[in-house]
Amino acid sequence: MILPDSEALWQSRAARGLHRAADARVSRPLSNPHDHPTALKDLQDAIYREKVLRARSMTPAERLDSIFELSAFQFGMMHAGAMSRLGTDDEEAGWDEVKRGLARLARARDHLLYVDQRPAAV
């Protein structure tokens, strides 16, 4: 899987109008959220509010495009992490490691969800 470089990603987001929020964040200096007891919570609330408003302004097609973009990015990150853990440049080995990790997560999620015996009485 080939990930788009950051400039191409920026241009695709700019074409959809998603760069405005990023420009607003970059243009004003951020204070340290640990300077004030409620500053971190205020920052979290502002970020959440921004994400909700941005999502509400998107069309369903834009939302779906955003989901696929995030998913492709996340798979690329998992692949890079797997290759780093293995210490290899072999992409196939990296994808095999990603599949193994996802299978492990599926087994953990499904543990005790599908059983062949009744649980012992407590």
User: Is position 51 within any domain?
Assistant: yes
Indicate the helix (H) or strand (E) that contains 94: helix 91-110
Residue 18 is assigned to a structural domain of this protein: no
Residue 84 has pLDDT above 70, yes or no: yes
What type of residue sits at position 82? A
Look at residue 40 and tell me if it is in a domain: yes
Q: Give tens-digit pLDDT for 4-49.
A: 555 555 555 555 555 454 555 555 666 777 778 888 899 999 999 9
Q: What is the pLDDT of residues 106-117, one digit of tens each?
A: 988 888 777 778
Average pLDDT on 74-81 reads 96
- Predicted TM-score (pTM) of the model is 0.54
What is the tally of structural domains in the chain?
A: 1
Q: Is the pLDDT of residue 74 over 80?
A: yes
Q: Residue 79 in contact with residue 95, Cβ under 8 Å?
A: yes
- Tens of pLDDT, residue by residue over 43-66, are 999 999 999 999 999 999 999 999
Range of the domain at 42: 35-110
50 occurs within a structural domain: yes
Residue 3: inside a domain, yes or no?
Answer: no
Say if residues 50 and 21 touch (Cβ distance below 8 Å): yes
Q: Which runs of E-coded beta strand occur in the chain?
A: none
Kindly indicate the confidence band of residue 118, based on its pLDDT and cuts at 50, 70 and 90. Answer: confident
